[in-house]
Amino acid sequence: YFHTPELVPHTETPDCAIAIDVLRATSTIATALDAGAEAVQVFSDLDTLRVQSEAWPAERRLRAGERGGKQVEGFDFGNSPLEVTPERFRDRRLFISTTNGTRSLTRIQQAKTVIAAALVNRQAVVDFLKREQPETVWIVGSGWEGSYALEDSVCAGAIAAPLQSQIQLGNDEMLAAIALYQHWEHNLYGLLCQASHGQRLLRLKCEADLDYCSRVDILQVLPKQGEPGVLMSAPL
Ligand code: MLT
């Protein structure tokens, strides 16, 4: 488990890499695909998103831009999973750039399999790992601008805890993440409210987002990379 994308080694490629950004990018990505979005295309950079999304028909795209928890001017959408509705998203492609989450997805896009995970779709990710049994799995927390984020760690622990008896935990961070999850599993909303990015979102009046993102296993959706940077809903 790497708690920020900056820690991901440049020299190796795992069989499977899982990016987590519970607050809120991977929660939003899972929600968008569950709502019927055709695909979610991720960008670390807002300008590249603007240019590349121009090539897509306007009536079949949505553009989401978030920095510091706020919607970027000129974009259709910020990064709130609560703004995602089937009416708005069905059959459209979401082009999205966020402060940390989409950066971690782009950082791992060379892995053989790339998955986006959050608490909301945790079980779909666990089922995928049980079924496919990839030999090496990197779980990558998005953190906040290079530093540790509690909510991503607790989700890493929520994914690894049910697999514990069948896998070798790669590092102490993974063990700590499982312990964190076991301590907080019955009050994940409480943990998210204490986390520093949770506090930032509370200041931005996004309490309902924290509530939504703290729910476990509410979506049966597996966001999986097709071509680099493009996630689609994979069969379960
Ligand atoms: C991120 O990518 O850092 C987050 O998703 C920020 C947010 O809460 O919008």
100 lines ligand 1 (CB under 6 A): yes
Band (pLDDT 50/70/90 cuts) for residue 9 is very high
State the pLDDT at residue 13. 93
Residues in a beta bridge with 70 = 67
Other CB atoms within a 10 A radius of the CB of residue 134 amount to: 17
Return the axis-axis angle of helices 196-203 and 150-160, rounded to nearest 10°: 120
Which residues have a Cβ under 8 Å from the Cβ of 110 and sit 6 or more positions away?
A: 13, 228
Q: Give 160-165 contacts, CB < 8 A, sequence gap 24+.
A: 160/1, 162/126, 163/126, 163/129, 163/130
Quickly count: other Cβ atoms within 10 Å of residue 19's Cβ.
Answer: 35
Residues 126, 159 contacting (CB under 8 angstroms): yes
Q: How far is the CA of 128 from the centre of ligand 1 (A)?
A: 25
Does 20 sit in the ligand 1 pocket, CB within 6 Å? no
**Average pLDDT across the chain, whole number:** 97
pLDDT of residue 111: 97
Tokens representing 180 are: 């964190």
Burial of 172 (0-12, 13-18, 19+ CB in 10 A): exposed
* pLDDT for position 202: 98
Pairing of strands 137-141, 70-71: unpaired
Cα gap 157→136, rounded to integer Å: 17
Ligand 1 atom 6: residue of nearest CA: 69
Of 4, 6, 21, 145, the one to substitute when testing ligand 1's pocket (max ligand atoms within 8 A of C-beta) is 21
Q: How confident is the model at residue 67 (pLDDT cuts 50, 70, 90)?
A: very high
Q: Is 69 in the pocket of ligand 1 (CB under 6 A)?
A: yes
Supply the pLDDT for residue 183: 98
Residues whose CB is less than 8 angstroms from the CB of residue 172 and which lie 6 or more positions away in sequence, other chains included: none
Cβ of 103 less than 6 Å from ligand 1 = no
Q: Kindly report the protein residue whose alpha carbon is nearest to atom 9 of ligand 1.
A: 69
From ligand 1's centre to the CA of 144, what distance in Å?
Answer: 8
- Locus of tokens 């590092």: 171
Q: pLDDT for 137-188, tens place per residue?
A: 999 999 999 999 999 999 999 999 999 998 999 899 999 999 999 999 999 9
With bands split at pLDDT 50, 70 and 90, how would you rate the model's confidence at 189?
A: very high
Q: Token match 């927390």: residue?
A: 141
Tell how far the Cα of 66 is from the centroid of ligand 1, in angstroms: 7
Per-residue model confidence as pLDDT tens digits over 89-142: 999 999 999 999 999 999 999 999 999 999 999 999 999 999 999 999 999 999
Q: What is the ipTM of this complex?
A: 0.96
Residue 131, SS3 per DSSP: helix
- Hey, what amino acid is at 101? G
The DSSP bridge partners found for residue 197 are: none
Collapsing DSSP to helix, strand or coil, 59 comes out as helix
**Helix or strand holding residue 89 (H, E):** helix 86-89
In angstroms, what is the span from residue 165 Cα to ligand 1's centroid?
32
Q: What local confidence, expressed as pLDDT, does residue 61 receive?
A: 97
**What pLDDT sits at residue 142?**
98
Please, which pLDDT band fits residue 221 given cuts at 50, 70 and 90?
very high
Atom of ligand 1 nearest to the CA of 23: 8
